[in-house]
Amino acid sequence: MSTANPYAAPTAAVADPVPSIPPDIAKKIKSAWVAGCISGAVTLAVTLLAMAGTQTMGFSAWSLLDVALIFGLSFGIYKKSRTCAVVMLVYFVTSKIILMMEARAASGLLVALVFGYFYVQGILGIFAFHKFKAAQAAEAQRAA
């Protein structure tokens, strides 16, 4: 007669947990997606004001597509997507250039530079994360 429980869950060998991300890399990535969320929230607020009837720099209900894109790219940055990080920077710079051309003034340039800095840092952080992850995988292969 067997003493093992026939209803016990099966067991499997589990690999060591993935080492945590270095804090400097995590900080760069976090600041980029937080900046994206702030940018999306501000764009949403201005869009809602425009939809309520306030005339604001050419914003309209179509700007909700911009809001969705910004939040989607921010989520991609949160998930450490290199593509989303690069697209976010390119989209942000392009949209700021278009807004400044429409307004015929360099209004908000300082704020745009700050957001641009965070997006560039996010790109650097995400690429460093993927390099770190590849190095960890290579090290695990050598150890096995």
In terms of C-beta density within 10 A (0-12 exposed, 13-18 middle, 19 or more buried), how is residue 81 classed?
A: middle
pLDDT at 15: 64
Distances 142 to 18, 29, 135, 137 between C-alpha atoms, Å: 16, 29, 11, 9
Mean confidence (pLDDT) of the chain: 88
Distance CA 135, CA 144 (A): 14
For residue 72, what are the contacts with CB-CB under 8 A and spacing of at least 6?
A: 84
Span 33-77, pLDDT tens digits: 999 999 999 989 988 888 887 777 667 777 889 999 999 999 999
pLDDT at 19: 63
With a pLDDT cut of 70, the percent of the chain lying above it is 91
Tokens of 36: 């994206």
With a pLDDT cut of 90, the percent of the chain lying above it is 54
Distance CA 63, CA 40 (A): 11
pLDDT band at 12 (very low <50, low <70, confident <90, very high): confident
Instruction: Provide the 3-class DSSP secondary structure of residue 77.
Output: helix
**CB contact at 8 A, 121 and 28:** yes
